Chains A and B, each alone.
Chain A
Amino acid sequence: MTDTLTPVLTANWADDRAWTLAAYENQGGYQALRQALQMTPDELVTLVKDSGLRGRGGAGFPTGMKWSFIPKDNPNPTYLVVNADESEPGTCKDIPLMMASPHTLVEGVIIASRAIEARQAFIYVRGEVLHVVRRLRAAVREAYEAGHVGTDIHGSGMDLDIVVHAGAGAYICGEETALLDSLEGRRGQPRLRPPFPAVAGLYASPTVINNVESIASVPAIVRGGVSWFGSMGTEKSKGHTIYSLSGHVKRPGQYEAPLGITLRELLDLSGGMREGAELKFWTPGGSSTPILTAEHLDVPLDYEGVSAAGSMLGTKALQIFDQTTSVVRCVLRWTEFYKHESCGKCTPCREGTWWMVQILRRLDRGEGQPGDIETLLDLCDNILGRSFCALGDGATSPITSAIRYFREEFEAGMTTPSSELFPPSRSTLFATTVLAGEGATS
């Protein structure tokens, strides 16, 4: 039985100057690299495969298996690309990781590059996080200076270059093939698959794209081993992971725990809901994962548990909303986001998100028309599974799930503005009281 919280990735975040090479090496950093340099690429792939590590960026695909898809006979160079474009609404784990301990990611990049025999790696970080870009660039520079990156790394014969690449503001670039187009200097629009990136990715060459947290988990797996990693988590969702709590809780923040912890446990740890508040709805893994309610407090937050509850673990971004919050207002805002970020390549997503916003706006104003709810569901039906990439699918999640659990609020949108039913000032961080609307500041 492991402890309730198991800091591994977050363990050094409170250390003095944790972002520096010296601080990182003081607490065991780059030991895993030395071990990995004694191992063959195949051994590393097998290790990560056997560990059961699954992608932490949303899809949960087994990381080691992704690595094993790289063909051995392709004449082109192999590339590793780290997806550090953390933009899924609610998701806020990779940014603090790279801010506090960029070397954890850099060490993971070197080990992963050895595993897939890549001599060039890229860290594609979203542009809107200046200090994180600084910390990443400095960490890569320090790693070069220490001989952890560059040519003939520690006499192993391994060569590796790492480039930190800042994006320019586009949620869609978190979709891995759009990210590749963006990294090639193009508009970030998703590509048709197959061919998969493992065969024809960056520069039409074999490419592995992994999330920050996935890659950052690798050094500890190398040091701890398969059974160490598997001693945390559940049968099919192994290991430790970062849960991000935000919204109407007393102590929002990052909580690293074995996979399978429940929201009830996390809420207990975080001091519960804010004063006077009751849980109304929450996202288990960002806005693209269907919302859940208080009846799901005991759902194990692992890939299988959340899926069985009708949602997805996603990025483990737990956005918590209390009874002061209008579901219609939230769903409208999320839908406006998807409309804004739709890349325009495919019709269902480009047109569908636009129409959904029109309908949700009038429901939010209390000017909904008979049949609006049915039209929304019909639109979702025409987007889900019919758009080019997962952005379109994700755009339908908040709508269909919110109508499932809170249909009456959408019906109220035929007559009453959401701001009358749920005055926005009561939901804010700076509202003085939650239950007594009169006492709230505005």
Chain B
Amino acid sequence: MTTNDPAQSPLPDSVDGMVTQTPTDPADTPIGPTTLAELKELAGRYPQARSALLPMLHLVQSVQGRVTTEGIETCARILDLTEAEVSAVATFYTMYKRRPMGTHHVGVCTNTLCAVMGGDEIFERLCGHLDVGNDETTADGAITLERVECNAACDFAPVVMVNWEFFDQQTPESAIDLVERLRAGERVASPRGAQITSWREAERVLAGFEDGRVDEGPAAGEASLAGLRIAQERGWQAPSLEEDSGTGRGGETKQEAAAEADTQRAESETVAEQSPADVEGGADDD
């Protein structure tokens, strides 16, 4: 989120950040009847239509290459919201872009772990190679480069994302090679995902429309399997699920299960009493 940041809120920036004040570029693909119907379809997927706003903004980006004034107005009209209400949402989330995006989004993780493992160096080298800074697009319109926060692939660090697909264990050289192949329009596939299409097509999938690429790529990368491989080599496994089959309750005997159940309940209550009320709220992350 770039809002509410005292360091970055001199007047020009905040004006730039107001989506409603960005004039719609005449070159923008207009929101046609198909997109309109799809936006309404998304709104119909939820018990309350407003819940579809995030997916709808993803769809706007997939059609127009960013969140445009027209996109804001259209979402507002469908959801019976004000444009200010939609703008407030569009400016809160980092994945929504107010400036036209390149064909591909390249995100370099520079959160601590990846940064230390080489992400900082990768980002600097890419900036130099592409002659852009953070959140800028190359002159040929091929690549928008961005520093991204932790993308939940720390065991594959340092990580680079292309249109939100993983490229693991990168080096400055492999990252430069990657962006060169993207710029040249070569076929590039994520080692843990699908063939790279474009940022706009990725946004369409995020909005809620399948693209038929689900079966591409493996189930898991090697790091994800590290523990499993060791367990397989050494014959380690969890206790069998089937030993106590039938009851779904386990327990060698019914009495034993009941005794354990009572103890556990007492313990759980103790835990609850000791916890501050808001511990319930999944403190850190999820």
Contacts and interface: CB of A to CB of B under 8 A. Distances in A.
Interface string A1-32: 01111111011011111111000000010000
Given A65-B272, A430-B118, A83 B286 contact: yes
Contact of A185 (B50, B217, B249): B50
Complex A-B, nearest 5 residue pairs according to Cβ-Cβ distance, in ascending order: A225-B250, A253-B226, A344-B4, A88-B285, A255-B227
Contacts of B221: 96
B250 A127 contact: no
A430 B170 CA distance: 9
A7 B243 CA distance: 17
B283 A166 contact: no
Contacts of A172: 1
B93 A47 contact: no
Contact of A13 (B5, B194, B224, B241): B224
B2 to A, nearest CB: 8
Contacts of A19: 214, 219
A101 B54 contact: no
Contact of A228 (B166, B194, B250, B282): B250
Contacts of B37: none
Contacts of A247: 113, 116-117, 154, 157
Q: Which of B215, B228, B234 has the most CB of A within 10 A?
A: B228
Interface in A48-92: 49-52, 54-55, 57-62, 64-66, 77, 83-92
A221 to B, nearest CB: 9
B89 interface: yes
A257 B230 CA distance: 12
B255 to A, nearest CB: 12
B154 A319 contact: yes
A58 B152 contact: no
A337 B114 CA distance: 13
Interface in B147-202: 148-158, 161, 163-166, 169, 171-172, 190, 192-194, 202
B238 A253 contact: no
B275 interface: yes
Interface range on chain B (Cβ under 8 Å from partner): 35 or more
B205 interface: yes
B213 A134 contact: yes
Contact of A35 (B148, B248, B267, B285): B248
B206 interface: yes
B102 interface: no
Nearest to A391: B284
B250 to A, nearest CB: 2
A147 interface: no
Contact of B225 (A13, A166, A246): A13
Interface stretch (B12-20, B24-32, B257-265): B257-265
Given A203-B47, A427-B116, A185 B89 contact: yes
Contacts of B171: 429-430
A187 interface: yes
Interface string B75-87: 0000100000000
Given A130-B205, A184-B51, A87 B150 contact: yes
A424 B113 contact: no
B112 interface: yes
B155 A59 contact: no
B205 A134 contact: yes
A269 B228 CA distance: 11
B244 A228 contact: yes
A227 B57 CA distance: 47
Nearest to A64: B268
A429 to B, nearest CB: 5
A442 interface: yes
B21 interface: no
B45 interface: yes
B163 to A, nearest CB: 7
A138 B279 CA distance: 34
Nearest to A44: B248
Nearest to B216: A131
B284 A286 contact: yes
A187 B164 contact: no
B169 to A, nearest CB: 6
B210 interface: yes
A4 B154 contact: no
Nearest to B270: A236
Given A62-B271, A166-B206, A321-B116, A3 B237 contact: yes
A96 B54 contact: no
A111 B107 CA distance: 37
16 contacts: A5-B236, A52-B268, A92-B154, A95-B152, A95-B153, A171-B285, A176-B281, A194-B277, A211-B286, A224-B241, A226-B251, A227-B256, A245-B226, A254-B227, A255-B230, A394-B284
